[in-house]
Structure 1
């Protein structure tokens, strides 16, 4: 690399990353304020201080943008997903506690509800939603259950997909329906119920 190149590095990438972060943050704020159905690309562009063409360069639709915005927003709560505490309960607590804490911070229910609704009417988006949003979280949790099975902590014949549904279903149920509070204690109760169901020492295991 020449001295001139070192002193004057290419500026495209930093500007692009800054613009992307601004767009994702602006989209997230609008999603929380308005929901997916009311959010427009024009509003996102104005709030982010970019041209609408810049947004469409990376996201072909507001649904795709919303998906990435929420994934970026929740990235911090996923940092403990691979943590090995030595026990299934400890691993599940490390997995769910940060996520439940994140869910309680802001009105995410309307954002998730918008994404779920979009997935019901757009098959292509539904596949992306499953691959990039649902899939990674389930994959990390599946690895955790596999590790527990190798330790002999859960029954060898455990249906891992059903176990994952039992783990996440109650959380989404309370998040989306709001019939009862989504608390850390509730998360612990769900974990204990799932462990009781799949434990290797359960009756007739």
Structure 2
């Protein structure tokens, strides 16, 4: 291969995981402590010590950055383990989700969804970059439980997932009840452990 045929060299520095982490942590901390309006690209750049040019190079829109910051936080706060009894894993996850909703995480989640809807007219970007990924993982856990009979409910795994997490989110958003870990676990059991 001659030098003319060689692969073109990428310009600029490669994406640094430390820099990416600083940006995402900064964006989430600003959203959690000061609110979504304060989480501008300028503020994230100042807080993280990273240039706006770098941020815009890695995230095409503010919404994409804020969703990725939220996603990173969700992944660390709400892991979906790939081992163990499916029903127990989902009870633990739903319980952790309620705990997160009752903290800064819940406020940030609502704010990010609102930002997506206000900016684009739909929550599609939130769904694509966050919800669909996690929903697919949980649906896989439900299907595995249906297969090994630890989950007795025979409705589609997607419908079962929506009954659990849709209920929790709806009740959180509109304040119809005080959400507790115990309630979340009982909800999972009532949806998944009965035929």
Q: Give TM-score scaled by structure 1 length.
A: 0.76
Aligned to 1:99: 97
Say whether residues 1:42 and 2:42 are aligned partners. yes
Give unmatched runs, 5+ long, in structure 2: 1-12
Q: What is the aligned counterpart of 1:143 among 140, 143, 151? A: 140
Aligned twin of 2:19? 19
CA 108–80 in structure 1, closer or farther in 2 if over 3 Å, else same: closer
Q: 1:155: how far off?
A: 4.3
Give the corresponding residue for 2:152.
154
- CA-CA distance at 1:191 after TM superposition: 1.0
User: Where does residue 74 of structure 2 map in the other structure?
Assistant: 74
Please say if 1:183 is aligned against 2:180: yes
SS of the equivalent of 1:37 reads helix
Within 5 A, what are the aligned runs for 1:108-123? 108-123=105-120
| 8 A Cα contact 2:172 2:179, kept in partner | yes
Structure 1 residue 55 corresponds to structure 2 residue 55:
yes
After TM superposition, the runs of 4+ consecutive aligned structure 1 residues lying more than 6 A away are none
CA distance in 2, matches of 1:22, 1:134: 23
Q: What SS does the aligned partner of 1:74 have?
A: helix
Aligned residues: 182
Q: Deviation of residue 82 (structure 1)?
A: 2.2
Structure 1 runs not aligned, ≥5 long: 1-11, 201-205
Partner of 1:7: none
Distance change (3 Å), C-alpha of 1:165 and 1:90: same
Q: 1:102 to 1:109 in 2, by over 3 A?
A: closer
